[in-house]
């Protein structure tokens, strides 16, 4: 067990610290955002003589510095990997070691949303032990939503509603005809090259297969209940943990985009594996995804049906998605 280096009491303490840190960072982000409504950014933009993107970048840096400082004061021996520090660093290698407890932080996931003040943005804080996220805290302050989880302690919305939301008396099984009946969450991403073998076309072909009528697209039509794109990998994972999305499929994210979301999803009972279909989707082993893999397929928590366990339903759904999607082309030095 990756958490064996911490006692349960130590883990409780770190979890409490992480939750409070998430609340504080969310509050800071909201305060900065609201100052934009009040016109207080005008001076800032004028000084920099540039676009709102640059202001957003400054906001991100402020929040990351706050989080990093808070952590290093409380836990000077822990490592820190943050979106902002990483982007400015020289390496694109995966930097989370199995031997050092590491905080993996995105001070602002859903940057485009934040720039436009669409509420689907958040602070994402994960605590990773032995290479696996064991604590996740996601604060989406403009939505008033706080998602928290720690291994063995359940996953929660606003500290009051256990995830998934629909769980009493039982968590609903996945639909018998999945992906039909499922809400499918996916993102268009930043790679927009007009190239038939580029990621844009690989994605759109996959989206189309999932959406098209049953029997269509050469048998690949999945007739999902709905297709959703929020522009935030972290929020996609949080809503999959909540049970609102049945399937999330995405490539190209980095570990800080997903670490907290994975902790929350897994603690809620969800499954996360790789986005790219193996050679034989119908028989391949379904393994947990590596944190730095950049390729993710998540399935919501599921209860048993009359004919299968929740895990069997999740694995069946994974195979049905793999049958309909193309390989995405995102690589990673060092993995």
Interface with a second copy (CB under 8 A), residue from 192, 282, 287, 335: 192
54 binds a second copy (CB under 8 A): no
In Å, how far from its chain's centre is CA 301?
Answer: 15
In degrees, to the nearest 5, what angle opens at C-alpha 212 toward C-alphas 207 and 216? 125
Residues 100, 22: Cα–Cα separation, whole Å? 22
169 binds a second copy (CB under 8 A): yes
249 binds a second copy (CB under 8 A): no
Provide the Cα torsion 56, 60, 200, 184; round to 10°. Answer: -110
Please give the order of strands across the beta sheet that includes 145-150: 79-82, 102-109, 122-129, 132-140, 145-150, 155-157, 161-162
Interface with a second copy (CB under 8 A), residue from 146, 211, 262, 318: 211
Residues 248, 184: Cα–Cα separation, whole Å? 6
In degrees, to the nearest 5, what angle opens at C-alpha 268 toward C-alphas 267 and 272? 75
Contact range with a second copy by CB under 8 A, out of 95-103, 146-154, 216-224, 257-265 = 216-224
Find the shortest distance in angstroms from Cβ 302 to a second copy.
Answer: 13
Contact range with a second copy by CB under 8 A, out of 101-109, 221-229, 259-267, 272-280 = 221-229
188 binds a second copy (CB under 8 A): yes
Q: What b-and-e string marks burial along 294-322, b requiring 16 or more CB atoms within 10 Å of the CB?
A: bbbbbbbbbbebeebebeebbbbbbbbbb
Residues 146, 29: Cα–Cα separation, whole Å? 13
92 binds a second copy (CB under 8 A): no
Contact pattern from residue 28 through residue 47 relative to a second copy, giving x for each residue in contact according to CB under 8 A and a dash for the rest: --------xxxx--x-----
3-state secondary structure of 209: helix
Is 213 assigned to a binding site? Answer: no
Query: Which CB, 89 or 144, lies closer to a second copy?
Result: 144
Strand locations in 38-167 (E): 79-82, 102-109, 122-129, 132-140, 145-150, 155-157, 161-162
In whole angstroms, how large is the CA radius of gyration of the chain?
Answer: 20
On whether the CB atoms of residues 131 and 2 are closer than 8 A, the answer is: yes
Find the shortest distance in angstroms from Cβ 206 to a second copy.
Answer: 12
Find the shortest distance in angstroms from Cβ 331 to a second copy.
Answer: 21
Query: Which CB, 133 or 310, lies closer to a second copy?
Result: 310
Is 83 assigned to a binding site? Answer: yes
216 binds a second copy (CB under 8 A): yes
Interface with a second copy (CB under 8 A), residue from 61, 65, 208, 286: 208
Find the shortest distance in angstroms from Cβ 10 to a second copy.
Answer: 33
Is 108 assigned to a binding site? Answer: yes
Is 30 assigned to a binding site? Answer: no
Query: Which CB, 6 or 201, lies closer to a second copy?
Result: 201
Contact range with a second copy by CB under 8 A, out of 56-64, 82-90, 98-106, 163-171 = 163-171
Is 106 assigned to a binding site? Answer: yes
Pick from 138, 153, 159, 156: which is nearest to 18 by CA? 138
Contact pattern from residue 122 through residue 151 relative to a second copy, giving x for each residue in contact according to CB under 8 A and a dash for the rest: ---------------------xx-------
Site for a second copy in 275-334 (CB under 8 A): none
294: left (phi over 0), alpha (psi -120 to 50) or beta: left
Annotated binding site for Mg(2+): 83, 106, 108-109, 257
Residues of the shown chain interacting with a second copy in the complex, contacts defined by CB under 8 A: 36-39, 42, 52, 112-113, 115-119, 143-144, 161, 165-169, 172, 183, 188, 192-194, 200, 204, 207-208, 211-213, 215-217, 221, 223, 225-231, 239, 242-246
């Amino acid at each position: 067990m990756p958490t064996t280096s911490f006692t349960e009491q130590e883990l409780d303490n770190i979890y409490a610290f992480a939750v409070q840190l998430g609340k504080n960072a969310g509050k800071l982000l909201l305060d900065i955002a609201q100052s934009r409504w009040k016109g207080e950014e005008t001076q800032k933009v004028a000084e920099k003589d540039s676009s709102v993107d640059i202001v957003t970048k400054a906001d991100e840096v402020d929040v990351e510095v706050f989080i990093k400082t808070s952590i290093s004061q409380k836990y000077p021996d822990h490592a820190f990997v943050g979106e902002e520090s990483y982007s400015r660093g020289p390496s694109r290698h995966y930097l989370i070691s199995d031997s050092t407890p590491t905080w993996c932080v995105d001070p602002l996931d859903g940057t485009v949303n934040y720039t436009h003040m669409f509420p689907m943005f958040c602070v994402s804080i994960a605590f990773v032990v032995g290479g696996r996220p064991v604590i996740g805290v996601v604060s989406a302050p403009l939505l008033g939503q706080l998602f928290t989880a720690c291994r063995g302690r359940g996953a929660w919305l606003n500290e009051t509603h256990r995830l998934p939301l629909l769980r009493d008396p039982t968590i609903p099984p996945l639909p018998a005809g999945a992906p039909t009946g499922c809400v499918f969450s996916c993102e268009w991403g930043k790679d927009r090259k007009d190239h038939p073998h580029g990621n844009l076309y690989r994605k759109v072909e996959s989206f189309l297969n999932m959406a098209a009528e049953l029997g269509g697209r050469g048998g690949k039509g999945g007739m999902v209940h709905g297709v959703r794109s929020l522009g935030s990998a972290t929020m996609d994972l949080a809503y999959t943990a909540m049970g609102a999305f049945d399937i999330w499929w995405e490539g190209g994210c980095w570990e800080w985009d997903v670490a907290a979301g994975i902790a929350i999803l897994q603690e809620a009972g969800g499954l996360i594996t790789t986005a790219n279909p193996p050679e034989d989707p119908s028989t391949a082993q379904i393994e947990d995804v590596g944190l730095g893999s950049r390729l993710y397929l998540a399935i919501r928590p599921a209860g048993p049906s009359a004919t299968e366990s929740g895990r069997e339903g999740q694995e069946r759904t994974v195979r049905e998605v793999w049958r309909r999607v193309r390989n995405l082309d995102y690589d990673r030095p060092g993995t």
